[in-house]
Structures are given as C-alpha cells and as structure tokens.
Amino acid sequence: MALVAFGIVALIAVGSGIGLVVRRNPIHGALFLVVNLASVAILYLQMRAEFLALAQVIIYAGAIMVLFVFAIMVLIPGKEETGPDPKRRGRLLAIALAGLLLLEVSLILRSTILSTPGQGRPPGSIEAVGRLLFTDYLLPFEIASVLLLAAIVGVLVLAKRKVS
C-alpha cells in the first residue's frame, strides 16, 4: 500500500514538474509549482519527516508561492476574461483529481507507516532537526541568515535608487 502511494505521489510530483516547465502561462506554471511542492511534502510525510512536510507546505507552498503569484500578476498584467469558461471540463477533472489526492493523503496518514511508533525519534522530527540545526550546523545556519539579511538590504538599496 505504501509503495503504491509513493508511486502515485512521485508521478504527481514529476508530472507537475513537467507541467511547470512546459506551460507558457506563468500563473499556470506557478500553480504547477504549488502542486509539486505539496507532493514533495506528502513524500516527506511518507518518510516520517513531519516537520519538513509542514515547513514545505507553510513556507514554500504557502508564503513563497503567494509572493511569486503576486509578483507575476503585478509584473505581467493579463487581460480580463469574460464569457463562458472554455476550460470547464479540465477544471472539473482537476477537482476530481484533487479529491483523489486528498483521499490518498488521508490513507497515507492512517497507514501503519505513520501510526507505528519507531525506535527513538525519526530523522525528520522537530527535535532531531532542531538538535542538528543548533549544534552541528550552527555556523552554516548563521552564515545563511547573514547572507539573506545582506540580500534584503541589497534589494532595498536597489529599489530606492532613482532611475535617471
């Protein structure tokens, strides 16, 4: 059962990655990226890395994708669409597939993979990630935070510069 679920989620991840690359509409590409990030989060759940799955959904599929879609809509304004929906059948199929994916995720969460207690903490648990982050990887973590801070300051400086 777990291997079949893994195969289906992996196919969804690969398919959405291909959809991201081949779509010409940037909004559709961003939505394919959301599906890809969500399927990767499901794969993390299958590996009992709950913290990584939650971080994947909250940070990447949530916050960063909202930023991407906002930037795309501001930088590439589209035309207003009126009239009947030409993609109605595709949307109905997408709703059915989303329901199937929701059913699969619920089966994964109820499966024996997540319900059986393991020996010690799984490698993706919050405790294990926190322990590694603040012991073995403290210096790279701090360097990454300083680099991100420098990037934010650089963006602000470039945004404030007047174009002559």
> How many other C-beta atoms are found inside a 10 Å radius of the C-beta of residue 123?
13
The string of DSSP letters for 137-163 reads THHHHHHHHHHHHHHHHHHHHHHHSPP
- Give the total number of structural domains in the chain: 1
Predicted confidence (pLDDT) per residue in 106-151, tens digit: 777 676 555 555 555 566 677 877 888 888 888 888 888 888 888 8
* Torsion sign across C-alpha atoms 70, 72, 75, 76: negative
Residue 92 included in any domain:
no
Tell me the residue range of the domain where 154 lies: 2-76+97-115+122-160
Predicted confidence (pLDDT) per residue in 66-76, tens digit: 777 777 777 77
Residue 142 included in any domain:
yes
Residue 86 included in any domain:
no
Distance, in Å, from the CA atom of 16 to the CA atom of 18, rounded to the nearest integer, reads 5
Q: CATH number, domain at 69?
A: 1.20.120.1200
